[in-house]
Amino acid sequence: MGRKPHKNDSLPGSLDMLILRTLSLRDLHGYGISQFIQQSSGDELLVEEGSLYPALQRLELNGWISGAWGRTANNRRARIYKITAAGTKQLAVETRQYAKLTLAIARVMGPE
Amino acid sequence: MGRKPHKNDSLPGSLDMLILRTLSLRDLHGYGISQFIQQSSGDELLVEEGSLYPALQRLELNGWISGAWGRTANNRRARIYKITAAGTKQLAVETRQYAKLTLAIARVMGPE
DNA sequence: GGCCCATACCTAGAATTCGTAGGTTAAGAT
DNA sequence: ATCTTAACCTACGAATTCTAGGTATGGGCC
Helix (H, G, I), strand (E, B) or coil at B78: strand
Q: Is the CB of A21 under 7 A from strand D?
A: no
Residue of B nearest to A36 (CA): B108
Residue B32, pLDDT > 70, answer: yes
Which stretches of chain A score pLDDT less than 70? 1-11
The CATH number that domain B6-109 falls under is: 1.10.10.10
- What is the per-residue pLDDT for B111? 86
- What is the per-residue pLDDT for A58? 97
List, for residues B52-97, the tens digit of each pLDDT value: 999 999 999 999 999 999 999 999 999 999 999 999 999 999 999 9
CB contact under 8 A, A100 and B42: no
- CA A75 centroid distance within chain: 24
Helix (H, G, I), strand (E, B) or coil at B109: helix
The CA distance from B23 to B41, in Å, is 15
Domain chopping of chain A, boundaries: 6-109
How many other CB atoms are there within 10 angstroms of residue A79's CB atom? 14
pTM of the model: 0.91
- What is the per-residue pLDDT for B1? 39
- What is the per-residue pLDDT for A41? 96
- Which residues in chain B (42-71) have CB-CB distances under 8 A to chain A? 42, 44-45
